[in-house]
Amino acid sequence: MMPIRLGSVSYLNARPLTYGLDRNPRFDVRYDIPAECARLLHARDIDLGLIPSIEYLRGPRPYSIVLGAGVMSNGAVASVAIFTRKDPRDVRSIAMDSTSRTSVALATVLMQRVFNARPEPVSMQPDLARMLDSADAALVIGDYALFVDHEALGVQKIDLGQLWTEHTGLPFVYAFWAGWPGALDAEEVAMLQDARDEGARHLDEIARAFYPDVPARQQIASRYLRDNIRYSLSVEGLNAFYRYAAEAGLVTFDGELRFYDAVDRKAR
């Protein structure tokens, strides 16, 4: 049996979802930035990807989703933020982290819905100082956003996870496992769910392994994985995001989500 080609995200917050999978012969795991995970899946170069949630609506549908496993926040996320020296209502241009897809859509939705602003996007590599030299605000994600010293640059940090939950009352889903129909059977779905559960029980270990020589970052990373990230998937939150993104003209959404068959875990 050929192993399932699994594309995961190289960021810290995705590591609990792949805990132990690189030792499982059923999976061949590779790590990339979020946008590359989506590109590989769309091109059929992987069978299943931890894709930015917006990419579920942009690929050659229909993809199927692994229920219950994702990268999510319910309040402040710490690693997805807009940085600016201006009042958000006065922002006319925003440098968008080119490694992101979902966060760009989220920033666009929230700028419109919360601040009634429609800034001109400029795609850039994540470098906060350079981004703010080129635009009124900057969207930065991932480990860079988690550790960047925005106070040294004299800018405010607008946490988009917190802003979303304050605006909607719902969690926000940044990424989840999605793949081609038939790529997984129910037992393999259960393996991914079990990896998530094991990862959630070993967050400190994951943080230490990710930053083996930087104890100060290990502490921040452990707190982030424990307090900011949830390893689940809110269908209600995902549906709300898709509706708002469609209203903003970013995607089309037919209201239907498709899921892989799963094992009855009570019967296992």
pLDDT, tens digit (0-9, with 9 covering 90-100), for 232-256 = 999 999 999 999 999 999 999 999 9
Q: Which of 127, 147, 118, 167 is nearest to 216 (CA)?
A: 147
Do 164 and 179 sit in the same domain of this protein? Answer: no
Query: Parallel, antiparallel, or unpaired for β 4-9 and 120-124?
Result: unpaired
Do 99 and 153 sit in the same domain of this protein? Answer: yes
Identify the domain boundary among 142, 168, 194: 168
* Residue 244 within a domain: yes
* Residue 79 within a domain: no
Do 68 and 129 sit in the same domain of this protein? Answer: no
Task: Give the number of residues written for the chain.
Answer: 268
| Alpha-carbon distance values, 62 to 177, 183, 225 (Å) | 14, 12, 31
Do 181 and 238 sit in the same domain of this protein? Answer: yes
In the block, which residue shows the tokens 């889903």?
Answer: 173
Do 59 and 107 sit in the same domain of this protein? Answer: no
Kindly indicate the confidence band of residue 268, based on its pLDDT and cuts at 50, 70 and 90. very low
Do 115 and 163 sit in the same domain of this protein? Answer: yes
181, 64 Cβ separation under 8 angstroms: yes
Do 142 and 96 sit in the same domain of this protein? Answer: yes
What is the tens place of the pLDDT at every residue in 42-75? 999 999 999 999 999 998 878 999 999 999 999 9
CATH code of residue 138: 3.40.190.10
Q: State how many domains the chain has.
A: 2
Identify the domain boundary among 115, 148, 168: 168
| Alpha-carbon distance values, 265 to 190, 194, 258 (Å) | 8, 10, 19
75, 102 Cβ separation under 8 angstroms: no
Domain that holds residue 217: 4-74+171-267
Do 139 and 162 sit in the same domain of this protein? Answer: yes
pTM surpassing 0.95? no
Tell whether omega for the bond before 62 is within 30 degrees of 0, i.e. cis: yes
Do 97 and 156 sit in the same domain of this protein? Answer: yes
In the block, which residue shows the tokens 């692994």?
Answer: 66
Do 260 and 217 sit in the same domain of this protein? Answer: yes
Q: Cα(18)–Cα(28) distance, rounded to whole angstroms?
A: 11
Angle of helix 186-200 relative to helix 203-210, nearest 10 degrees, comes to: 80
The tokens describing 57, both together, are: 């609506």
What is the tens place of the pLDDT at every residue in 94-124? 999 887 789 999 999 999 999 999 999 999 9
Do 154 and 197 sit in the same domain of this protein? Answer: no
Residue 175 has pLDDT above 80, yes or no: yes
Do 92 and 59 sit in the same domain of this protein? Answer: no
The tokens describing 108, both together, are: 């666009």
